[in-house]
Structure 1
């Protein structure tokens, strides 16, 4: 199996407050109240998902998406 060097998470505001993070291309999802906590949760989720150190990505990239709505 080839080694994954980077994993990308799509980070969005949660309608109920806080943030959600969903990995692109992997079945990993987590959430937290703030971005600092989210980084810890994402790192923990990646470590749990990739138990084998050889297959674990070396870099986690957070792609933070902010929706902004305004009137014309």
Structure 2
């Protein structure tokens, strides 16, 4: 696999939650730096062999906002 993509959301407490697209990997971190470390650790632990590991990981910060119309 060339690239593994994680969708990242910021939680109400300020921390971050990351979910891999198409894989069952979910992790979280209190800071962006901690999240990066946790994503790497979770990814390495998810795959059985080094050959299965992605060449790179993309973190996509998802921003969602609801606007009232009326």
TM-score by length of 1: 0.84
Distance 1:55 1:16 in 2: 34
In structure 2, list runs of 5 or more residues that go unmatched: none
What number of residue pairs does the alignment pair up? Answer: 69
Please report the RMSD computed on the Cα atoms of aligned residues, expressed in angstroms.
1.7
Structure 1 residue 23: deviation in Å? 0.1
2:50 to 34, 50, 53: 53
Q: Does 1:7 align with 2:4?
A: yes
Output the CA distance in 2 between the equivalents of 1:34 and 1:69: 24
**In the aligned structure 2, how far is the partner of 1:52 from the partner of 1:14?**
32
Whole-angstrom CA distance in 2 between matches of 1:17 and 1:45: 21
**TM-score if structure 2 supplies the norm length?**
0.86
Q: Which has the higher helix share?
A: 2
